[in-house]
């Protein structure tokens, strides 16, 4: 345990440093506290879910590597893990649930049959914790996804099946939002695409558009449900064409005013997701972020405090659009302690927002407008060595969660007391 007075005096020193630059650290922490990061349930069990019989991961574009022992096998274990994670994070989070994580109680419920009742125990659990839930249709890990196409399938039986599934997720998500008093973001991602060079891209894209139009026919109140669509660049098995590309969904979201989900792992490696935010928000009301860390391909590494996430947070704070952004995490790394993966990734995202909130943006903008580019660069560099870590430590202290490296020992203890006792 850290000495409280040391953390407090470090904060006092930090506060003086930032005040000298015209930045109010208390205000920054208040704003940080409003950012609710949606924890993706699928990091806890490598996107397995609770369908009966156990679904095998597959169906294009989703891949988890690593077999670190002790992944959550039951709803109770998953909830215990998420509660543990939340106990190590300052502030309040949300839960991001996938449709395959329903409380099916041993019953075989196909995707086109899911109902609110299968998620009621999740809603009750969330209510108890005082958190919101976000939701996702699961259009993979199913025989009807095995040929690589779902909502854009030329097989009408399959396409109709997936349309019905996604419609039901919207209904369930709206009910979650209603009962929990905070809108649920329902994010549609489909793996559709082809491994080799297709000849007929157009038909698949027009089918995807047609399916989405049908899915969105029913309107739900905005206070309950926010619809979002997520693009991708490529996946394993969809290397040559992804039906739901960035252009496709950008067009769809703009035309229909849906949320667009920008996943950090779904763009060319030299593109910056942070740069896209102020472009998209000229045309749609809100964005969903899947904060991830693409390494060579896709999005499966634990988020760290890197340039990419810093720019994302800076662009949001600088453009003053925090109220238009929904933040979720999206990575699944099965090669390390999964609780640790959540805590490291969420803390990194929080740190990025804090770093951005502690920036003397007004001063930097003044330099920029005056053409003082040296001064702008100098202060951007200087901010990197300011004591933002002390501000974050203080945030942890006042939220009664482990400060600094203390959470590592906590997770090690959970691993030996709980995780290592799970049968693999």
238 binds ligand RNT, rule: CB under 6 A:
no
> In the set 51, 175, 263, 286, which binds ligand RNT (CB under 6 A)?
263
> In the set 18, 42, 119, 392, which binds ligand RNT (CB under 6 A)?
42
148 binds ligand RNT, rule: CB under 6 A:
no
Residue with the closest Cβ to ligand RNT?
Answer: 189
Instruction: Give 99 or 383: the residue with its C-beta nearer to ligand RNT.
Output: 99
Where residue 70 falls (left for φ over 0; alpha for ψ -120 to 50; beta otherwise) is left
> In the set 141, 194, 245, 299, which binds ligand RNT (CB under 6 A)?
299
Instruction: Give 9 or 65: the residue with its C-beta nearer to ligand RNT.
Output: 65
- From 134, 175, 263, 286, active-site residue: 263
Whether the Cβ atoms of residue 18 and residue 386 lie closer than 8 Å to each other: yes
> In the set 47, 188, 302, 312, which binds ligand RNT (CB under 6 A)?
47
Distance in Å from the first CA to the final CA of the chain = 33
Which position has the token pair 């739901």? 244
Site string for ligand RNT, 68-107 (x = CB under 6 A): ------------------------------x---------
Give one DSSP letter per residue of 295-355, joined into a string: ESEEEEEPP-S-HHHHHHHHHHHHTT-GGGEEEEE-----SS-HHHHHHHHHHHHHHHHHH
Q: Which helix (H) or strand (E) holds 231?
A: none
Rounded-to-integer distance, Cα 252 and Cα 244, Å:
10
- Residues of this chain, 278-297, that bind Zn ion according to CB under 5 A: 290
> In the set 175, 192, 330, 359, which binds Zn ion (CB under 5 A)?
330
**330: annotated active-site residue:** yes
Rounded-to-integer distance, Cα 364 and Cα 252, Å:
36
Query: Burial, 28: exposed, middle or buried (Cβ in 10 Å; 0-12, 13-18, 19+)?
Result: buried
51 binds ligand RNT, rule: CB under 6 A:
no
The CA-atom distances, in angstroms, between 241 and each of 152, 209, 422 are 13, 16, 40
Rounded-to-integer distance, Cα 323 and Cα 285, Å:
10
- From 40, 204, 246, 290, active-site residue: 290
132 binds ligand RNT, rule: CB under 6 A:
no
**189: annotated active-site residue:** yes
**323: annotated active-site residue:** no
- Residues of this chain, 172-191, that bind ligand RNT according to CB under 6 A: 189
**417: annotated active-site residue:** no
Q: Which does 136 bind (CB under 5 to 8 A by kind): Zn ion, ligand RNT, none?
A: ligand RNT
Which position has the token pair 């994010």? 187
Binding site for ligand RNT (CB under 6 A): 42, 47, 61-62, 98, 136, 189, 230, 232, 263, 290, 299, 330
Catalytic residues: 189, 230, 232, 263, 266, 290, 298, 300, 330
């Amino acid at each position: 345990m850290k000495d409280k007075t040391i953390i407090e005096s470090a904060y006092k020193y930090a506060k003086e440093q930032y005040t000298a630059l015209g930045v109010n650290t208390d205000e920054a922490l208040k704003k940080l506290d409003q950012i609710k990061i949606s924890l993706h349930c699928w990091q806890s069990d490598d996107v397995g879910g609770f369908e009966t019989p156990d679904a095998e991961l597959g169906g294009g574009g989703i891949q988890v590597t690593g077999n670190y022992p002790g992944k959550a096998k039951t709803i109770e274990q998953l909830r215990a893990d998420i509660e543990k994670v939340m106990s190590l994070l300052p502030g309040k989070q949300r839960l991001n649930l996938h449709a395959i994580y329903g409380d099916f109680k041993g019953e075989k419920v196909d995707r086109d049959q899911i109902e609110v009742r299968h998620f009621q125990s999740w809603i009750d659990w969330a209510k108890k914790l005082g958190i919101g839930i976000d939701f996702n249709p699961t259009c993979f890990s199913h025989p009807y996804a095995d040929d690589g196409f779902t909502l854009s399938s030329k097989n009408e039986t399959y396409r109709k099946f997936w349309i019905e599934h996604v419609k039901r997720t919207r209904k369930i998500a709206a009910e979650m939002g209603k009962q929990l008093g905070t809108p649920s973001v329902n994010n549609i991602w489909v793996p559709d695409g082809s491994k080799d060079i297709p000849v007929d891209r157009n038909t698949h894209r027009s089918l995807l558009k047609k399916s989405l139009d049908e899915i969105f026919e029913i309107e739900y109140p905005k206070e309950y449900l926010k619809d979002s669509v997520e693009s991708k660049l490529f996946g394993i098995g969809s290397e040559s064409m992804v039906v739901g590309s960035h252009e496709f969904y950008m067009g769809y979201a703009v035309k229909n005013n849906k949320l667009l989900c920008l996943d950090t792992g779904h763009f060319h490696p030299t593109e910056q997701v942070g740069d896209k935010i102020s472009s998209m928000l000229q045309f749609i009301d809100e964005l969903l972020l899947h904060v991830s860390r693409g390494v060579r391909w896709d999005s499966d590494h634990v988020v760290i405090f890197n340039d990419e996430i810093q720019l994302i947070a800076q662009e949001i704070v600088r453009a003053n659009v925090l109220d238009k952004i929904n933040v979720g995490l999206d990575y699944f790394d099965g090669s390390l302690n999964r609780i640790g993966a959540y805590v490291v990734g969420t803390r990194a995202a929080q740190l990025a927002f804090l770093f951005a909130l502690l920036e003397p943006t007004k001063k930097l903008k003044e330099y920029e407008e005056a053409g003082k580019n040296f001064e702008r660069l100098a202060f951007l560099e200087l901010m990197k060595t300011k004591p933002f870590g002390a501000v974050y430590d203080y945030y942890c202290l006042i939220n009664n969660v482990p400060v600094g490296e203390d959470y590592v020992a906590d997770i090690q203890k959970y691993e030996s007391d709980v995780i290592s006792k799970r049968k693999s």
